[in-house]
């Protein structure tokens, strides 16, 4: 019997099936059961794919037990707030951080690719006012495939690079236009003199003619650097997260030979769910429900009551069994913003009281229910005067680079097959 194998025994027949054990550079070993159905006539059963590796990847690594997240080997704490989001995009797509000249060239190209086709802008006229930006964002990204309908040559690396840079550059523009359409105000074109993240804030806030509206009210000609830095860090922390629901969706749709932008649109649809990217909206809804610091003990007690349907949003994570490393970065950012922006918001006071109460309670600590990225990101985006309906589109802006990098890795894998899970049939 080989050393690096696992033997499965069917106790009904005594038959044994031997499979190779594969080892990655980090993380659990994997049993290669690709021939299991052919060998045994049986399927494995794993709802939610909690014990299934669907692919081999060199992009992102997560150790949920030790609160670790790495992009291309770099710990997230080394990247968020210390390298620009565009440099992190370069890292994910190219496998290494850029030098100064590469960083400058990449930034310049992204600025000039941020404009979208005039025909795409006119599509927004067909959408009703007050439509959720995620709905119009997803539809507009799907429509991108009609403007860039050429078939990609998988052997042409330049085509791959251009396709990836194009989608990363245009998503903030489309997201800002989706927001402006939802409130019925004129669209604003990108400004090539502005960096990626500042440009997004500009396109959300500006009036025709260049004046800017602070989303909290009033005219403000300046986008403060602290705002840009904060949102840039949020984009970085959302850039990729291994084989989550939306990334798995992008890969599954990509495996059908669908257009890459159709795959990204499918990821947007998956991300919109309140159990995934929409969770930070639910966090803010819940903080508004709690309403006042004096009500926090009541809601903490409700969260601990098994017979009460109330669940504390923004705490705990499917993968992280301890602290969410992205939340750790955002916690420091939240404290910095509160000080630098002189924030004195009742909602932020409620959030701070919920956090303090939960972290001091053994019920939450014993269950590993620590604040996750959704708890802090919602609070920070509120501090930046970002409307709640734009929380998930901002997640999309950050995550697009991860999706398109995962799509590219899938397409360059000679062993990749169309996604086709099987089932345990229990019907008539």
Residues 254 and 363 in one domain: no
Is pLDDT at 46 greater than 70 in this prediction? Answer: yes
Residue 272 near residue 393, CB atoms below 8 Å: no
Using alpha carbons, select from 196, 38, 179 the residue that is nearest to residue 113.
Answer: 196
pLDDT at 176: 97
Residues 133 and 28 in one domain: no
Using alpha carbons, select from 216, 215, 217, 183 the residue that is nearest to residue 201.
Answer: 215
Q: Report the number of distinct structural domains present in the chain.
A: 3
The answer to whether residue 62 sits within a structural domain is: no
Catalytic residue among 232, 240, 324, 374: 374
User: Please, what is the Cα angle at 115 between 111 and 119, to 5 degrees?
Assistant: 170
Residues 205 and 93 in one domain: yes
Is pLDDT at 1 greater than 60 in this prediction? Answer: no
Q: Is 374 annotated as catalytic?
A: yes
Catalytic residue among 238, 259, 317, 324: 317
Residues 199 and 259 in one domain: yes
The answer to whether residue 424 sits within a structural domain is: no
pLDDT digits (tens, 9 = 90+) for 272-317: 988 787 777 888 888 889 999 999 999 999 989 989 898 888 887 7
Q: 221: domain range?
A: 75-274+390-411
Q: What is the pTM of this model?
A: 0.90
* Mean pLDDT of the 355-371 span: 86
Mean pLDDT (the chain) is: 89
Q: Is 221 annotated as catalytic?
A: no
Provide long-range contacts, Cβ within 8 A and 24+ apart, for 270-277: 270/245, 270/246, 271/134, 271/245, 271/246, 271/392, 271/395, 271/396, 271/399, 272/134, 272/138, 272/392, 273/245, 275/245, 276/244, 276/245, 276/246, 277/246, 277/392, 277/395, 277/396, 277/399
């Amino acid at each position: 019997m080989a050393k690096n194998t696992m033997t499965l025994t069917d106790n009904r027949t005594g038959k044994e099936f031997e499979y190779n054990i594969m080892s990655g550079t980090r993380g659990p070993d994997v049993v290669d059961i690709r021939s299991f159905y052919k060998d045994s006539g049986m399927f494995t059963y794993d709802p939610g794919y909690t014990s299934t590796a669907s692919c081999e990847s060199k992009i992102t690594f997560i150790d949920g037990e030790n609160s670790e997240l790495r992009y291309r080997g770099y710990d997230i704490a080394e990247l968020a707030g210390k390298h620009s989001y565009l440099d992190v995009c370069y890292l994910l797509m190219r496998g290494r951080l850029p030098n100064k000249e590469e960083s400058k060239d990449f930034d310049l190209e992204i600025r000039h690719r941020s404009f979208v086709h005039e025909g795409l802008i006119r599509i927004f006229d067909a959408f009703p006012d007050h439509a959720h930006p995620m709905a119009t964002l997803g539809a507009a990204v799907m429509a991108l495939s009609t403007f860039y309908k050429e078939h990609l040559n998988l052997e042409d690396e330049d085509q791959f690079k251009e396709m990836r840079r194009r989608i990363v550059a245009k998503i903030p523009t489309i997201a800002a236009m989706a927001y402006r359409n939802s409130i019925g105000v004129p669209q604003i074109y990108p400004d090539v003199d502005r960096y990626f993240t500042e440009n997004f804030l500009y396109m959300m806030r500006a009036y025709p003619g260049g004046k800017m509206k602070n989303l909290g009210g009033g005219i403000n000609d300046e986008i403060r650097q602290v705002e840009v830095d904060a949102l840039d860090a949020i984009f970085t922390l959302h850039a990729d997260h291994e084989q989550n629901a939306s990334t798995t969706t992008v890969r599954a749709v990509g495996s059908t030979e669908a257009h890459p932008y159709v795959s990204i649109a499918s990821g947007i649809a998956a991300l919109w769910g309140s159990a995934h990217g929409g969770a930070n909206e639910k966090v803010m809804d819940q903080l508004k429900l709690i309403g006042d610091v004096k009500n926090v003990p009541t809601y903490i007690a409700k969260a601990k009551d098994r017979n009460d349907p109330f669940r504390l949003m923004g705490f705990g994570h499917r993968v992280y069994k301890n602290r969410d490393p992205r939340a750790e970065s955002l916690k420091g950012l939240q404290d910095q913003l509160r000080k630098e922006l002189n924030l004195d918001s009742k909602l932020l006071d409620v959030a701070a009281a919920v956090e303090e109460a939960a972290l001091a309670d053994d019920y939450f600590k014993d269950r590993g229910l620590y604040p996750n990225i959704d708890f802090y990101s919602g609070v920070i985006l509120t501090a930046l005067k970002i409307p709640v309906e734009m929380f998930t589109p901002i997640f999309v802006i950050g995550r697009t680079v991860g999706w398109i990098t995962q799509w590219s890795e899938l397409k360059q894998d000679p062993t990749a097959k169309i996604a086709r899970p099987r089932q345990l049939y229990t019907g008539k």
